[in-house]
Each structure stands twice: as C-alpha cells, then as structure tokens.
Amino acid sequence: MNFKKILSFSLPILGAIPAVSVAALSTDDYVEAAWMTTRFFGAQRSGQGPNWVLDGTSYTTSFTKDSYNGKDVSGGWFDCGDHVMYGQSQGFASYILALSFAEFRDGFYDLYTGDYTDYKANKDYTRKGGKSNDVRDLLEELRYEADFWVKAAIDKNNFVTVKGDGNADHQKWVTAGAMTRLGSGEGGEPRSIKGNAEDAFTPGMASAMLAVMARVDPDSANQKKYLEAAKTAYAYAKSHKSVTNSSGFYESSWWDGRWKDGPFLAALELYRTTKDSSYKKEADEWYFDLDFATGSYTRLNYSNAVPLSVVMAEGVFAWAPSSGSFYDAEQFLNNIYAKNAKDGIFKGETGGAGKFSVRSPAGGAFLYALMSKFYNESKYDESIEKNVAYLLGDNSNKKSYVVGFTKNGASAPTHPHHRGYYGNEDAGRDVNSMGSAPEKNKLLGGLIAGNFDSGSHDGSTANWQVNEVCVDMNAPLVGALGYILSKKAPVKEVGSDIKVKVEEEKKDTIEAIPQVARVAGLKLFQSGSTVTISDVNGAAFVVQVYDLNGKMVQVFKDARKELSFTLKAKGVFQVRVTSRNMHRIFTVKSL
C-alpha cells in the first residue's frame, strides 16, 4: 500500500470515466440483444431439456443418466461450446444472472415460453415466433440451472463440481444428443462425475445463486427447495478450500488463491434472504480475508470474483476493502476499468486471439450497473451503454460479437466454436467441415471470445481462441442489458412476479445520497491515544485503522452515531471510515 498516495484522497474519484456519446442502437435493438443473449442459456441445457438448438435433430435430449453414487445429477448448463459441465464457470455465471434478475428485474422481459414449444409450433425461432407465458424469460432459464444445483448439493460432504472428461469430450464434433450415444472415450455415457473435490469456490457460488433464487422465485415450493440446497452447498463450501482442478481445462492455479469469494458471496446472499445474523458474521470473516490486492488489477471473470465481492460488500454491508489503496467500490472498479479505457471502452487485458477480450467491456458494464443500482446513481449510464453497444457492433468496424446479432448494420460472427449450433450428428465429420448452421440456430445469441485487433470475423470454427462462446461470458452482458432496459423501457410487472415492498428493497440497497453530502456530518476527535468518530446522520459505519506499512491493525464494524477506541501503539495511523453514504480518510498520531 502506498500510504502517502492514499493520504492525498478525501473523497472518491468522481467522473473518472471520460464523457462518451450515447450509442446509436435503438431501444428495440437492446430488447433484441437481451432476448438473444438470454435464450443462449437454453442452447446450453444438458439433460432432459428441452434444448432449443436440438429441435429437429435425431437426439433432442442428452446425458440424462448422469449420476453420482446412485443420485441423479443430470441437467444444468454446458459451460461453453463443448458438453463437459464445469461448475467453476457455471457457478460464477449462474450467480451473476440470478443477481441481475434480482436487481434489474424490470429490464427482463417475457418473450417466450421456457420449453420453447412456441417457436416449434410456429416454425419460427426469431423473436416474433415467441409467445409470452407470464414468466420472465431469464427466470425460466435460471430455474433450469437452479434445479441442477439442487441435485448437485447432495449433502455437506458431497457436491458435484464437474461432469464429464474434457479430453474425451473434445474428440468428436457432434451435438450433445449425438455425443451422449458415443462411448465414454468419446464423451458419451456413462460420464465421470466429480462429487467430492477440494473446492469451496464452486459450491459457494452455487449457494449464492440458490439463495438469490429462494428470494426472487415467485413459486413457494421453489423457494423452499432452493434455500435448503443453498444451505447444503454452503455447508460443503465451509468445510473445504481452493477450487476444482480440471485437467488443463480449468486449472485451480488460475484463481491465484482467490477462492474465498465463493463462500463469502454465499454467506452474504443467505443473510439477505434469511436475515439470519449468523450469516452476516460469517460473511464478515470471509470478506476481510479476500485477496483484494491481486483482485484489484484483474477484470471480472470466473477466476476473479473479487470486484463483484467488493461491490456487493459495499452495497449490502457498507464494507470497504481491507487492503490495498481502495476505500470504496467505485475506486476499486475505476482502477480496473476506467483507468484502462480507450475512447470510453473498457479495454484493459484485451487484444488479439486468446485474450477473451469481450470479458472486459461486458464485465465492466455489469459491475458499474450493479454499483449504480445500489447508489441509485446514473452518472455511469452512458458509459455502461457505450460498452454494451460496442459489443453489439456500434464500433468503427460495425463488428458485433454476439452470434446472430446484426441490428444497426452490424456484421455478426457465423462460425462459433459451439457443437450444438451446427446440428451435426455425424461423428465422422471434422470441425472445419461444418458449413452453415440450420437457419433457426443462426440466432444463437452467444458472445464470442473476440479479437479486438481485427476488423473482421475469423471464419474458422476450430479457432476457439476467438470463436468460443461460454456461459460465463454471456452472463455479465445479459446483466448489463437488463440494467439498460430497466432504465429505458422497464416492464414493471408480469403475471408471476413477486410484489416486493419498497421498504424491503431499501434494506438491501444503498440510499441515494448526493455526492457532496457523502462526508457531511462526519467528525473525528482525538484525545491522546483515544479516537472518537461521530456521524450526526446516525448511519452505521465501519472503521479500519492502518499503520504506515499499510497493515490493518484494528477494525470496528457496525458502529452507529459514535465510536470511541484506543490506538494500541504509538505512531502515525490512517483511519478509514466507510458507510453507505460516506467515505473518508483521517490521519492521526498517537504519542
């Protein structure tokens, strides 16, 4: 920590993102994009389905016999364009989507039925072929994944993290239904199932997702089963550590020790859902042990959920990072995204093939949207919209990164690295002989990994470094689109919605406080080694005391109106005060 640099700040850096112009896409274009990117998750369904890209093939179901110790664990989402099911990215994606639904619900529409019979009956897989059924589409996609996590959370000692073998799965380029009928050595049934991995991250993320679903699903039976499974998954996470290592496909080392975000977010969401203070206490213990240092220089992705944890901790508990030179979520995000923006686009850690460049603008847009919702602010709205629009083709090359999205004259990718897209069931065909996809599958809605260094699309299906599509990449984009539409064209209610009381919503969101008022009423008084902090507004606040080496030596949480404490040693200290409506740093000296 650079102590001298920190002392120069007394307020968050505001307006760090340069002014940008509003994108040229219409509101209906955003509706189209949200519809496509949400329905993409229906193309990732394993198990009984239905999976809409398999309509019209010989095998419309897949891997229905997945089991662990005799327990049915079929279902859930394929992680990318393959048919292995990696819980590491699944858990991350499912929590982000559930959280998006909870926070931006009015931005998610009801345009189709969750079993896709409307498209099949109309023989039209465009948006026009869909039919509303009084359930928001994202909720239906989330239920499919949540029902899998209920199965995966077998008990506190058994939790399924991976289904299938990546090496066997990648042998043949066929649909999930066709691969199921192949031998185990070529990715078929029976598949290997990992149900007792040394992993706290995956069950933690799954628990967080299920806890949110227990809060937002209007069906009382679903609420009950999701909450029970959330508690079971969290119990497993608490008795384990690290993250599953998956034979070169998802190495545990990629997390660089950042696995505690899973159980932290689980405890946080269980607290929000149950209001049981024991979960808040446990969230406290997890949060202040997160790796804020490495997490503050890497964009949001499945192996770095720290930026998301920071936003959620501030939004729910008014907690600030306990290490590093960041005293609120806004500054934390600005260090990753705004500081590395180019012409307003979040391009840190982006570039050519293999960089999975789309994660930067998609993840940044989602995080700023989430923070904006908590603060009830709109200053980042244009930037959020511009980054989303960039991915949808509002850029100098008119290059859309979403398969099938061609609105506003954009050129969309046509050769995604996705087996189901091509509808091929001939195991003898090579990946690069796929040709064109069935017409109905061309609106896949998957966000490709991308290449920001090229003005045109790569036409090689085998080039996964550019053309891979994954649930973890789509999820933040869906969330950001939901936020945009919740502001531009909100749908306040559909038939199945829960009516949430305004008073209850306020408990879980940051109050709208004008920027100039964030430190009003806050005072610090020192007498010898005793420090007293008061806030005339009566808001709860957190106090963190750091020495000159940047080490946190004392912390006091949930103080209200006034707090007095004694410095434990002599010397100069930094006293950082954070609440829902203020951020302030004081320098004190104890003699």
Helix (H) or strand (E) holding 523: strand 522-527
Say how far apart CA 86 and CA 385 lie, in whole Å.
31
Do residues 381 and 19 touch, judged by C-beta distance below 8 A? no
Tokens for 450, please give them. Answer: 């991308």
Residue 530: how many other CB atoms lie within 10 Å: 12
Spatial distance between the Cα atoms of 199 and 215, rounded to a whole number of angstroms: 25
Three-state SS string over 149-169 comes to HHHHEEECCEECCEECCHHHH
Q: In three state form, how does the secondary structure of 367-384 look?
A: HHHHHHHHHCCCCCHHHH
Residues 237/67, Cβ–Cβ less than 8 Å:
no
- The number of beta carbons lying within 10 Å of the beta carbon of residue 12 is 16
d(CA 240, CA 216): 28
| Residue 522, helix vs strand vs coil | strand
Pairing of strands 85-86, 162-163: antiparallel
Q: Do residues 333 and 304 lie in contact, with contact meaning Cβ atoms separated by under 8 Å?
A: no
Q: 189 near 65, Cβ under 8 Å?
A: yes
Residue 36, phi then psi, degrees to nearest 5 = -65, -50
The yes-or-no answer on residue 417 being catalytic is: yes
Q: Which two tokens stand for residue 122?
A: 């109309």
The contacts of residue 112 (CB under 8 Å, 6+ apart) are 35, 39, 118, 119, 130, 131, 132, 133, 137
**What is residue 48's DSSP assignment?**
T
What torsion do the CA atoms of 154, 155, 160, 161 make, to the nearest 10 degrees?
A: 140
Q: Which helix (H) or strand (E) holds 534?
A: strand 530-535
Backbone angles phi, psi at 571, to 5 degrees: 130, -170
Q: Is 419 left (phi over 0), alpha (psi -120 to 50) or beta?
A: alpha
Q: Which of 29, 82, 165, 472 is catalytic?
A: 82
- Concatenated DSSP letters of 551-581: -EEEEEEEEESEEEEE-SSSEEEEEEEEETT
Dist. CA 340–CA 424, nearest whole Å: 42
Q: Which of 83, 240, 417, 457 is catalytic?
A: 417
Q: CA 274, 280, 285, 287 torsion: positive or negative? A: positive
SS3 of residue 77 by DSSP = strand
Helix (H, G, I), strand (E, B) or coil at 538: coil
Question: What 8-state DSSP symbol labels residue 50?
Answer: -
- The rounded distance, in Å, linking the Cα atoms of 279 and 275 is 8
Q: State the catalytic residues.
A: 82, 417
